[in-house]
Structure 1
Amino acid sequence: MLAVTADARVAVRTRALTKVFRGFRAVDAVDLEVREGSVHALVGPNGAGKTTLFNLLTGFLTPTSGTILVFDEDVTGQPPERVARRGVARSFQITSLFETLTSREHVELALQGLTSQGFRFWRSEKLLGRDRARVEDLLEQVGLLRLADKPVGLLAYGQKRALELSLVLALEPRLMLLDEPTAGMGIEDVDRTIELIRRIAAGRTVVLVDHNMRVVGSLADRVTVLQQGRILAEGPYDEVRNDERVITAYLGEADHA
């Protein structure tokens, strides 16, 4: 984890951020600050509002009220592509890859999408090959270079999640939002993913949602606990995990006598 000073610039700031679905407040007046260069975890019981908050921050949902600032720019209500142009990239909880394409082809397409050529990849094979060094660097960063030409459908689950992180990195983001990056993984894959996220977080700001508290404790500089759409507690991991309100939210009322 990085040492993030109290006067570090704020990468993400929300004020009274609220999302209401037919009378249900999924996110309720959330004031959130994420310091630049930090790894900030959002945790909470199922239904706490974590993914809804992610979708608000990245433009996939429009707030009912409140504001969102990313690197001091107001992105409230902007669509995902405009938010992305502010240096924001995200991964999703559910893997969504093309099973018959290779890892190399996935990254080539991701880089192609950043150019004026868009996804008109059929026009020239040369266009796809011009970023070969960048493609191989991205795959090397996530440990997939030796499997670059293997169809994604033949990769292990943990390797597919690593590929998704390479697609996030292809956008050269200043801010990465990772939704359940270790969901469904075995212990070995979780350990590898922790180390991978630690490496790629260098020089960037990361906001992550993960139910695995070992992942959160290993990576997060600061933890925000959500319950029923509101912030229940916030602070360093060791402080938050011992908060009686947090223990009750996760485990229910207990007899501590």
Structure 2
Amino acid sequence: MTTGASTSATATSPTSPGSVSTPSTILRTVDLTKDFRGFTAVNAVSLDVAEGTIHALVGPNGAGKTTLFNLLTGFLTPTSGQILLRGDDISGRQPEEIAHLGVARSFQITSLFEQMTLLEHLELALASPTGLGYKFWTSRKSLGRFKQRGMELLAEVGLADRSGVTAGSLAYGQKRALEISLALANDPALLLLDEPTAGMGLEDVDRTIALVKKASVGRTVVFVDHNMHVVGSLADQVTVLQSGEVLAEGTYDDVRNDERVITAYLGESGGEHG
């Protein structure tokens, strides 16, 4: 099996709330908890994400991965605990506020405008920080200033030759590539990817692995994925969640050989599938 961790670490317990983060920590949660009417989806999760790394969140269905993502990006408000971005508490802030702090996210389910061209998607994404992106009556001439950068971003994900076609005409893997380009539009320091390879065939999976590696240069990536080939190919650090809690943490090789993880998550699959 491919092993992708570029740094070695011993599997550890989650960071204790009283510990001091290293200067390289870009994202930290402290006892982060989310309750839904008596059901605890995320339970006292303490997590450190080192700047410039690729960090994977894995676990069985219902482990709390997507809820954690929604907390980190402001789509849900924590019941208790803290979320620290470069040491600043962003707990409970709105998604647009968090985005302006340099955090971008892609979603598990594609959310594109089917009748808009790829370049139009990028132009709107690039215009949004200026306010133009929210003015749907804005002229094409006004958005034209973003064309060059939009084409550069499409080229980065291998879609420059499709810039004039509508998003609805793309194959599934190409739609996911477009979404990654949209997430990169405002050059985030922290990129969160929710199931970037979900529903893909092997060829698209390998293409997306290469794309995420390219996108990670100069930034930090946190991603959720059930495909352990993807996790092994990309992750410097892996956090395993079970029932809303951190079960294990370490390099890919560390966690895939952890008996608790094998029992709770990998089961009889031997680590090939989530």
Q: TM-score, normalised by structure 2?
A: 0.89
Question: Corresponding residue for 1:81?
Answer: 96
Structure 2 unaligned regions, length at least 5: 10-21, 270-274
Q: 1:20-68 deviations in whole A, cap 9, x for unaligned?
A: 1111110000010000000000000000000000000000000000000
Question: Corresponding residue for 1:166?
Answer: 181
Supply the distance in 1 between the matched residues of 2:133 and 2:72 (Cα, whole angstroms).
Answer: 25
Q: State whether residues 2 and 38 of structure 1, in contact with CA within 8 Å, keep that contact through their aligned partners in structure 2.
A: no
Match of 2:257 among 223, 242, 256: 242
How far has the Cα of 1:2 moved from its partner? 7.7
Q: State whether residues 121 and 128 of structure 1, in contact with CA within 8 Å, keep that contact through their aligned partners in structure 2.
A: no
Q: Which amino acid aligns with 2:73?
A: T
Question: Corresponding residue for 2:67?
Answer: 52
**Are residues 237 and 3 of structure 1, via their aligned partners in 2, closer, same or farther at CA, if it must alter by over 3 Å?**
closer
Alignment of 1:36 with 2:51, yes or no, is: yes
Match of 1:125 among 121, 124, 140: 140
How far has the Cα of 1:4 moved from its partner? 6.1
Supply the distance in 1 between the matched residues of 2:150 and 2:161 (Cα, whole angstroms).
Answer: 12
Q: Which amino acid aligns with 1:132?
A: K
Question: Corresponding residue for 2:159?
Answer: 144
Q: Which amino acid aligns with 2:82?
A: T
Question: Corresponding residue for 1:216?
Answer: 231
Question: Corresponding residue for 1:157?
Answer: 172
**Are residues 44 and 207 of structure 1, via their aligned partners in 2, closer, same or farther at CA, if it must alter by over 3 Å?**
same
Structure 1 unaligned regions, length at least 5: none
Runs of 4+ in 1 over 4 A off after TM superposition: 1-8, 251-254
How far has the Cα of 1:123 moved from its partner? 3.3
How far has the Cα of 1:118 moved from its partner? 3.5
Supply the distance in 1 between the matched residues of 2:68 and 2:144 (Cα, whole angstroms).
Answer: 38
Supply the distance in 1 between the matched residues of 2:59 and 2:169 (Cα, whole angstroms).
Answer: 34
C-alpha root-mean-square deviation of aligned residues, in Å? 1.8
Question: Corresponding residue for 1:177?
Answer: 192
Supply the distance in 1 between the matched residues of 2:175 and 2:161 (Cα, whole angstroms).
Answer: 14
Alignment of 1:190 with 2:205, yes or no, is: yes
Q: State whether residues 177 and 208 of structure 2, in contact with CA within 8 Å, keep that contact through their aligned partners in structure 1.
A: yes
Paired-residue identity, %: 65
Q: TM-score, normalised by structure 1?
A: 0.95
Q: State whether residues 40 and 222 of structure 1, in contact with CA within 8 Å, keep that contact through their aligned partners in structure 2.
A: yes
